[in-house]
Amino acid sequence: MLTDYHCHILPGMDDGAPDADTALDMIDIMKEQGVERIIATPHFYAHEERSLTEYLLKREDAFDSIADYTAIPNILLGAEVAIEHGISKIPGIQQLAIEDSDMILLELPFRDYEDWMSEEINAISSEYGLKVVLAHIHRYLTYYSPENFEKILKTDAIFQFNNDAFLLQRERDLLKRLVKEKKTIIFGSDAHNTDTRCPNWDVCLEVCDPDVLEASNSLLKVTEEQLRVMAPPEIGEQGA
């Protein structure tokens, strides 16, 4: 089941889809590219939110605005959680994990590594029993010193690559290395709109090793409830 683990389709949540029409257009593109399951991961910046509760309500409202119209009904809610000082201390932070899973997508700061970042990552993992997914790991090749980047790669994390990582040799080489080292890898479009940062699964599907892609897709188990949602209606149900 082709799964987009990282995208910004929920309307009005962040710098992604500004409205429901754009969100639905993005989903239509994903559908055409073969995506069957979407993890909606709007940004969560603790310093910008009034409360976690308000964020969760806003996320639910954004999802409800498209839920009845989406071409891909199998959408799970998550978040792209920025690693900030004290993020692990926010009560209920585990509610930002990907729905029906124990995985949480974390975004490292776009500046060189500091020890407190690992402290926050480790606290979220150990205190809440969550598997940490590090978003678009390939982007930090530019920001982190080689020594500090190696520290991140040695963590017991799941590494998420954006599909556009296949467009640059340096980032492809990183992916090949992590595959060889048997690291856990997942993929996402990190799509924000329908033009400058549009869904781009065609890039991934053209060049990604099928076994690597299948490992990504199968990491998130499909629950019986999700299968019921995806199943076609029984004869006589339509129009009920």
Asked if 134 and 101 touch (Cβ cutoff 8 Å), the reply is no
- DSSP state at residue 141: G
What is the rounded distance in angstroms from the CA atom of residue 103 to the CA atom of residue 131? Answer: 5
Rounded to the nearest integer, the mean pLDDT of the chain is: 92
For the chain, residues with pLDDT lower than 50 are 223-240
Contacts of 78 (CB under 8 A, 6+ apart): 39, 40, 41, 96, 97, 98, 99, 103, 104, 105
Q: What is the pLDDT of residue 233?
A: 42
What are the C-alpha distances in Å from 200 to residues 27, 88, 146, 158? 12, 32, 29, 21
Closest CA to 74 of 223, 191, 198: 223
Q: What is the pLDDT of residue 222?
A: 53
What is the rounded distance in angstroms from the CA atom of residue 178 to the CA atom of residue 184? Answer: 8
Q: What is the pLDDT of residue 236?
A: 39
Q: What is the pLDDT of residue 78?
A: 98
What are the C-alpha distances in Å from 58 to residues 25, 53, 61, 192? 21, 9, 5, 18
CATH of 3-230, picked from 3.30.1540.10, 3.20.20.150, 3.20.20.140, 3.40.50.620, is 3.20.20.140
Q: What is the pLDDT of residue 221?
A: 76
Q: C-alpha angle 203/109/190, rounded to 5°? A: 25
What is the rounded distance in angstroms from the CA atom of residue 153 to the CA atom of residue 134? Answer: 10
Measured from the Cβ of residue 27, the count of other Cβ atoms closer than 10 Å reads 26
What three-state secondary structure class fits 76? strand
- Which amino acid is it at 183? K
Global pTM value: 0.91
Give the pLDDT confidence of 209-229 residue by residue, as tens digits: 999 999 999 999 754 444 444
